[in-house]
Amino acid sequence: MRDDIILNKSETIKRCIARINEEYDGNPENLNDYRRQDSIILNVQRLCEASIDIATHYIRKNKLGIPQTSKENFEILEKNNVITEELSSRLQGMVGFRNIAVHDYQALNLKIVEKVVEEYIYDSLKLARMILEK
């Protein structure tokens, strides 16, 4: 399914991933540098927002329901076999991370930031690919 909104959001995600990788540089010690840390966290937030936007757009366009929370976007996509259960769960976890980072619910644990950077940031691209293949 060619969709300019999803394609544009995918490009945003790619830019965020590139910036995260540039600042992180494969070295968890870079998270101790506040400038790098801020840039990394900001770009994780942006890619998470772009993922939510992609999900919301697809759900609205295909009349799959009305999500009440950001996490519910991914639950709806999962229930409608648009994305896998595993990807849904991982993206919901990213939303939880974003909520902590944005709303400062608690101090960010740098080990969690490290795990997000090393294991989760590419999930947003998987989401875009799965939707574009529909």
- Nearest-angstrom CA–CA distance, 120 and 6: 19
pLDDT score, position 33? 96
Give the residue numbers marked as catalytic. 98, 103
Instruction: Tell whether the model's pLDDT for residue 82 goes beyond 60.
Output: yes
Instruction: Tell whether the model's pLDDT for residue 104 goes beyond 80.
Output: no
Query: Residue 86 gets which letter from DSSP?
Result: H
Cα–Cα distances (Å) from 15 to 8, 90, 95, 117, in that order, read 11, 20, 19, 14
- Nearest-angstrom CA–CA distance, 73 and 91: 10
Whats the size of the chain, residue-wise?
Answer: 134
Instruction: Tell whether the model's pLDDT for residue 5 goes beyond 90.
Output: yes
Instruction: Tell whether the model's pLDDT for residue 21 goes beyond 60.
Output: yes
Dump pLDDT digits (tens) for 108-129.
Answer: 889 999 999 999 999 999 999 9
Domains of the chain by range and CATH?
Answer: 4-132 (1.20.120.580)
Q: What is the greatest pairwise CA distance in the chain?
A: 45
Instruction: Tell whether the model's pLDDT for residue 85 goes beyond 90.
Output: yes
pLDDT score, position 1? 61
Percent of the chain topping pLDDT 70: 98
- Does residue 49 sit in helix, strand or coil? helix
The mean pLDDT value of the chain amounts to 94
Which pTM does this prediction carry? 0.93
